[in-house]
C-alpha cells in the first residue's frame, strides 16, 4: 500500500519565502516536537487519495498525468 496524493509543487522563490516565514515557528519551544519537511518538499496537496494498493499505483500515475 502507498499513501498517495495529488499536489502542486511550489516554485523555488515561493518555497524560499515560505521557509523564511516559518523560521520563527521552527524554533518556537511549543513546536519543538514538530517534524518539518525540507523546503524542497513543500507542495500544495489538492487531493488526498489515501492508501492505494501497490498494484494500482501505475494506473493512478497514468491518470494523474492526464489532468
Q: Which DSSP letter does residue 14 get?
A: H
Tens-place pLDDT, residues 12-26 = 999 999 999 999 999
| Secondary structure class of 47 (helix, strand, coil) | strand
Q: Kindly report the CA angle at 36 between 18 and 57, in degrees rounded to 5?
A: 100
Chain segment 54-67, per-residue pLDDT in tens: 999 999 999 999 88
What whole-number distance in Å separates Cα of residue 9 and Cα of residue 6? 10
The alpha carbon of 53 is separated from its chain's Cα centroid by a whole number of angstroms, namely 20
Q: What is the pTM of this model?
A: 0.74
Amino acid at each position: 500500500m502507498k499513501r498517495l496524493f495529488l499536489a502542486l509543487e511550489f516554485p523555488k522563490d515561493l518555497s524560499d519565502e515560505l521557509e523564511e516565514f516559518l523560521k520563527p515557528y521552527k524554533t518556537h519551544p511549543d513546536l519543538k516536537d514538530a517534524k518539518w519537511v525540507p523546503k524542497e518538499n513543500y507542495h500544495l496537496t489538492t487531493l488526498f487519495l489515501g492508501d492505494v494498493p501497490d498494484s494500482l499505483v501505475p494506473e493512478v500515475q497514468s491518470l494523474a498525468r492526464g489532468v
